[in-house]
Structure 1
Amino acid sequence: MKKLKTNMDKWLDKQDKRWQALPIRKQHRYTLYFFAVYLLITAVVIAKILDDAGTSQKGMVIEPIENPALKKLETNKNRIDERK
């Protein structure tokens, strides 16, 4: 586990040095691109959710919760009544 942590730290330090070596203008441009892509993906996901919700033919069905134990007792009573 220590080796993994050491390797990750080395890799992250290397990436940080590469990032710091870039000119500020390029860093700013990359940051804007990544943010724009993030916003685009977010907008697509929200649009997909709204589209799925809008085209849904089924409405939400709200029913009372049935206790399975009571339901089992009722079926047992029905079986006993049928035998008589």
Structure 2
Amino acid sequence: MEKLRANIDMWLERLDKDWEAMPIKRQHQVILYFFTAYALLTAVIIFNVCRDTAHAKNTMAVEQMQNPAQPEKESQASVKDTLKTILKK
């Protein structure tokens, strides 16, 4: 773990030295490119969210709920009989 941390620290120091060695005008260009990419990505995401909410159907189907534990109507009589016999025992 310490070796990994040391490698990351060396990589960050090298990156910082490269950044400092870069001319100021080039630093401004790189920052402008990153900001432009960030702004473009933000605009695309906002556009997609607005488009998805505009086309969304805000309706809910309301139907009668069915009890999954309750058997069908033709077999209800046999279930009632078995319950009565279980309770009698």
TM, length-normalised to structure 1: 0.71
Unaligned residue ranges in structure 2 (runs of 5+): 71-75, 81-89
Q: What residue is the counterpart of 1:42 in the other structure?
A: 42
Cα offset, 1:72, TM superposition: 8.0
Off by >4 Å, runs of 4+ in structure 1: none
Between Structure 1 and Structure 2, the one with more helix by share is: 1
Q: Deviations over 1:15-36 (max 9, x none)?
A: 1000000011110111011001
Q: Which amino acid aligns with 2:19?
A: W
Q: Which amino acid aligns with 2:58?
A: G
**Structure 1 residues 60 and 24 mapped into 2: Cα distance closer, same or farther (>3 Å)?**
farther
Residue aligned with 1:18, SS = helix
Q: Please say which structure displays the higher CA radius of gyration.
A: 2
Aligned alpha-carbon RMSD (Å): 2.6
Q: What residue is the counterpart of 2:4 in the other structure?
A: 4
Unaligned residue ranges in structure 1 (runs of 5+): 64-70, 76-81
TM, length-normalised to structure 2: 0.67
Q: What residue is the counterpart of 1:67 in the other structure?
A: none
- Number of equivalenced pairs: 74
